[in-house]
Amino acid sequence: MKTRVCELLNIEYPIFQGGMAWVSTYELAAAVSEAGGLGIIAAGGADGEYVRNQIRKIKEITKRPFGINVMLMSPYVDDVMKIIIEEKVPVITTGAGNPGKYIKALKEKGTKVFPVVPSVALAKRMEKEGVDGVIAEGTESGGHIGELTTMCLVPQVVDAVSIPVIAAGGIGDGRGMLAAFALGAEGVQIGTRFVCSNECVVHENYKRAIIEAGDRDAVATGRKTGHPVRCLKNKLTREFEKLENSNADKEEIEKLGTGALRKAAILGDIEYGSVMAGQISGLIKDIKPCKTIISDLIKDYEENLKKLKEWCR
């Protein structure tokens, strides 16, 4: 399994681990990179020194490529980017905005840039800005989401750009990975499946909530604010629903979510915390090492590819 992404990033498998705030720490990223994928540390809303510390810790335990996910809406984004450039991080992924003003400085240090895009228009603009690839993320994913589904978004982005496309949203096993490649993607980004890994340091209650989730338990909240978020149904999501149905203003709705992800991920409050997870949650039934998750993905991919070939005789 070799695509342009593997050659570009010097990784064994074209599998990105999603950069999830309060979840994707250096421990998880290192385990994924050591298993042959691209581990990604989430900067989230953290300051630059937190990010520097995470970078230096991952460098102590793996020599393999890794990435940092940068939320461009963060108040610390300039400081975070400065440190990423200083530390010569191999790869960055970005979300919630346009990384254009940072691209030249990043690429001068050899950093590969893969922004998350929810639309064809942004993908085309990013290609013109000189990024190395794009992550086309469908609405099935956990956390902040767009409108288009992965099945619809990925092939349209593939047709619109010449750079590699990574498919994200709703991918948790080899079947999903095979489907993504059939749509023209040259890699996949997987988040929720890696939350339920031994190396992920998120609270065990968070992992258990995903394992116990059904197929309709990952819901979108905050659509009226213009910044919808997908997480598992609980008392918090019901409060969001009440506020949105009562025509509360945007500020009141957003205030309800302040600090809610940390409450779930770090403190283990899965009733009033925001348990961000994708629609693939209903497929995840166990916790295992990242190396096993990746080897199972590849095995499942190969078995289903063989099955398809037999059907197509």
Q: What is the CATH number of the domain that holds 63?
A: 3.20.20.70
State the Rg of the chain over Cα.
18
pLDDT of residue 307: 92
Neighbours of 288 (CB within 10 A): 14
Residue 135, in any domain of the structure: yes
User: Is the Cβ–Cβ distance between 14 and 45 less than 8 Å?
Assistant: no
Quick check: is 149 in a domain? yes
What is the mean predicted confidence (pLDDT) over 280-289? 96
State which H helix or E strand residue 233 sits in.
none
pLDDT band at 97 (very low <50, low <70, confident <90, very high): confident
In this structure, is residue 19 part of a structural domain?
yes
* Tally of domains within the chain: 1
Is pLDDT at 176 greater than 90 in this prediction?
A: yes
Is 125 inside a domain boundary? yes
Quick one: pLDDT band at residue 258, thresholds 50, 70, 90?
Answer: confident
Is the pLDDT reported for residue 115 higher than 80?
yes
Residue 161 token pair: 């750009």
Under DSSP, is residue 38 helix (H, G, I), strand (E, B) or coil?
strand
Q: Could you tell me if residue 183 is inside a domain?
A: yes
Q: Are strands 143-144 and 134-137 parallel, antiparallel or unpaired?
A: unpaired
Q: What is the pTM of this model?
A: 0.93
Q: Which domain holds residue 161?
A: 9-201
What share of the chain in percent tops pLDDT 90?
80
User: And the tokens for 142?
Assistant: 């956990």
- Per-residue model confidence as pLDDT tens digits over 34-44: 999 999 999 98
Question: What DSSP letter does each residue of 121-160 carry, written as one string?
Answer: HHHHHHHHHT-S-EEEE-TTSSEE--SS-HHHHHHHHHHH
